[in-house]
Structure 1
């Protein structure tokens, strides 16, 4: 399973290096962007992280979740997406651009029948999307998803935390790096 995750990450790194502008982009006016990610966290767990920023790039909210077992990489990304959608719905957020660094997840969401092992999770996601206004799911390169990635990686330290208004100190440098170019 470790080799699968490394292969997945390596694929994203290769794709990123081909991108001529691997910088985080603000969403359109009136929208917010929700970046989410899954990753192995701690000794044996899977972590999820998300960050929401407005159309000026200003931090709104971040959250983490931790599961005490390791998931298959694509399954982890799908579960992370469902978790992020649940959080957005519970917070009553609208006009959201969801962004993932997992291109295969975006394809799976568009064609759940092509991914039978994830179909029930993806159908849950589609039901959650129905309760949101102006939703989109976009693929972004790993370099533009570093804040959510950092939160997922450190989720074992911050199990089920939510930060409104002020980000956790551990991600301040990642947030700043998104605007350094």
Structure 2
């Protein structure tokens, strides 16, 4: 089978598993057309573009975190008037510890949407009890804003300030930048969040 068929089969199996859990734990009736619709909705989303970059540019593939740290990749995706968030947390072996999506979130300017996504990712990570965390984003604007450490009075400033307040909940915490091609899983989860609106 070609890659697209394999992707659809795997996604369909996941949708059946999700529907099964809804039946067992929430007593929701299994609706086959709904399962198929959600699978098709995920595959109608635009595929991420893989960009080939020179070795001199900042790394464009996901890298394992420092031993003892958890790396949390997060991303926001905007469609029409709402945004979807996605995150994935992995350890030094590359093992997935957690993943999450959130939609809908009212659409905001791009930089603010990414900052709200960081805030959401930090709160989830705190709830999970991770102590040493590197948050990784493909938003250069957010990364630069975080590094600047200035304090203003805009809503974006307040969100970043709240993120800095949340950072004291960790033993160690950092925010790093990665090219979009290295953040593809978080991007996929953020875009996949819209399937819950079908």
Q: TM-score band, normalised by the shorter chain? A: 0.7 to 0.9
Q: Which residue does the alignment assign to 1:37? A: 75
Distance apart, 1:70 and its partner CA: 2.1
The alpha-carbon distance between structure 1 residues 99 and 68, as it changes in their structure 2 partners (threshold 3 A), is closer
Alignment coverage as a number of residue pairs: 145
CA distance in 2, matches of 1:80, 1:68: 10
Task: State whether structure 2 residue 117 is matched by structure 1 residue 103.
Answer: no
CA distance in 2, matches of 1:145, 1:88: 18
Runs (5+) with no aligned partner, structure 1: 1-12, 160-181
Q: Which residue does the alignment assign to 1:6? A: none
Which entry has the higher C-alpha Rg, 1 or 2?
2
Residues 48-127 of structure 1 mapped to structure 2, 5 A cutoff: 48-113=85-150, 116-117=153-154, 118-127=156-165
The alpha-carbon distance between structure 1 residues 139 and 21, as it changes in their structure 2 partners (threshold 3 A), is closer
CA distance in 2, matches of 1:155, 1:114: 32
Question: RMSD in angstroms over aligned alpha carbons?
Answer: 2.2
CA distance in 2, matches of 1:127, 1:16: 37
CA distance in 2, matches of 1:20, 1:80: 23
Higher helix share: 2
Match of 1:17 among 46, 50, 53: 53
Distance apart, 1:156 and its partner CA: 2.0
Match of 2:181 among 143, 154, 160: 143
Distance apart, 1:48 and its partner CA: 0.6
Structure number with greater CO (CA < 8 Å, separation at least 6) is 1
* Residues 120-162 of structure 1, C-alpha deviations (whole Å, 9 max, x = no match): 0001000100111111110011111000011111112247xxx
Distance apart, 1:112 and its partner CA: 4.5
Residue pair 1:16, 1:141 contacting (<8 A) in 2 also: no
Runs (5+) with no aligned partner, structure 2: 1-48
Task: Give the 3-state SS of the residue equivalent to 1:46 in structure 2.
Answer: strand
Task: Give the 3-state SS of the residue equivalent to 2:125 in structure 1.
Answer: helix
